[in-house]
């Protein structure tokens, strides 16, 4: 079946460090891919998305590129801030309109 | 603020209690969802409603009973829960159908079953 695998956390970085959170997926057809972020005490918020191969989603300095050849959608940010501390979820929406989420990766950014 | 609200935000209940979770969306969406979020596990989709009709029930135990009286409101009725049902319950909504559709989440209800 369809699934999403993302790197285990927690991840701890110093402010201004480079961030990569890996995400790979398994799906038939051409799913849409998403990154959601969950700040403490809140629900999930859409961070960015890409709906077809080679698309790049970007928002708030975060980027992810839909790579069909490697079935990946890694999240990157060049310089993280303390306010980026949150849990990040990779997700796919398959052609049957079903969402699948990864387990989440907790990020803590220290000053 | 995503346009999806959930009440209560926190709930503690005994195994013999009956309670209900409420979700309301102000986005004009037609699809609504219940998810269960447990520590170190992927989000588990529980129920999907599209235009007030239940279109998915992912083998959820009958002690969870959803209700969708209209496209803006979704309830999750709880009775005789077990301690392992303790989790964050998230409601989400989307336009309804279609490829590449984004789901908008509420803040969740943190449930503790004693």
Q: Among A65, A57, A101, A74, which Cα is nearest to A18's?
A: A74
**What are the counts of helices (DSSP H) followed by strands (DSSP E) for chain A?**
0, 12
Interface touch B102/A46, C-beta < 8 Å: yes
Q: pLDDT for B43-99, tens place per residue?
A: 888 998 887 778 777 789 999 999 999 989 999 999 999 999 999 999 999 987 654
pLDDT of residue B73: 96
pLDDT of residue B72: 94
Q: Quick check: A87 contacting B, CB < 8 Å?
A: no
pLDDT of residue A20: 97
pLDDT of residue A23: 97
Residue with the larger pLDDT of the pair B48 and B1: B48
Interface touch B106/A43, C-beta < 8 Å: yes
Under a CB-based contact definition with an 8 Å cutoff, are residues B78 and B21 in contact? yes
Confidence of residue B1 (pLDDT cuts 50, 70, 90): low
Q: Among B30, B29, B89, B40, which Cα is nearest to B64's?
A: B89
Q: pLDDT for B96-110, tens place per residue?
A: 765 457 889 999 999
Under a CB-based contact definition with an 8 Å cutoff, are residues A13 and A65 in contact? no
Q: Quick check: B2 contacting A, CB < 8 Å?
A: yes
pLDDT of residue A99: 85
Cα–Cα–Cα angle for B3, B48, B32, nearest 5°? 15
Q: Give pLDDT < 70 ranges for chain A.
A: none
DSSP notation for B25-92: E-S--SEEEEEEE-TTS--EEEEEEETTEEEEE-S--TTEEEEEEETTEEEEEEES--GGG-EEEEEE
Q: Quick check: B45 contacting A, CB < 8 Å?
A: yes
pLDDT of residue B95: 87
Interface of B with A in 48-77 (CB under 8 A): 56
Q: pLDDT for A41-53, tens place per residue?
A: 888 999 999 999 9
pLDDT of residue B23: 97
Asked if residue B34 has pLDDT above 90, the reply is yes
Torsion on CA atoms B80, B84, B90, B91, rounded to nearest 10: -30
Q: Say whether A99 sits in a helix, a strand or coil.
A: strand
pLDDT of residue B42: 81
């Amino acid at each position: 079946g369809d699934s999403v695998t993302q790197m285990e956390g927690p991840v701890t970085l110093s402010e201004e460090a480079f961030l990569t959170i890996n995400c790979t997926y398994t799906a038939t057809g051409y799913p849409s891919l998403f990154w959601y972020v969950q700040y403490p005490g809140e629900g999930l918020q859409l961070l960015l998305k890409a709906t077809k191969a080679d698309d790049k989603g970007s928002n708030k300095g975060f980027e992810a590129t839909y790579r069909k050849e490697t079935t990946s959608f890694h999240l990157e940010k060049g310089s993280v801030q303390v306010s980026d501390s949150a849990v990040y979820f990779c997700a796919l929406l398959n052609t049957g309109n079903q969402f699948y989420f990864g387990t989440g990766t907790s990020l803590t950014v220290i000053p | 603020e995503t346009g999806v609200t959930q009440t209560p935000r926190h709930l503690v209940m005994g195994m013999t209690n009956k309670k209900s979770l409420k979700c309301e969306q102000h986005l004009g969406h037609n699809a609504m969802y219940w998810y269960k979020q447990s520590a170190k596990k992927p989000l588990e989709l529980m129920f999907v409603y599209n235009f007030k009709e239940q279109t998915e029930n992912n083998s959820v135990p009958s002690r969870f009973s959803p209700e969708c009286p209209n496209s803006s409101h979704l309830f999750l009725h709880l009775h005789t829960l077990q301690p392992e049902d303790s989790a964050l319950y998230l409601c989400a909504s989307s336009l309804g159908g279609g490829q590449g559709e984004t789901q908008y989440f509420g803040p969740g209800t943190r449930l503790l079953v004693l």
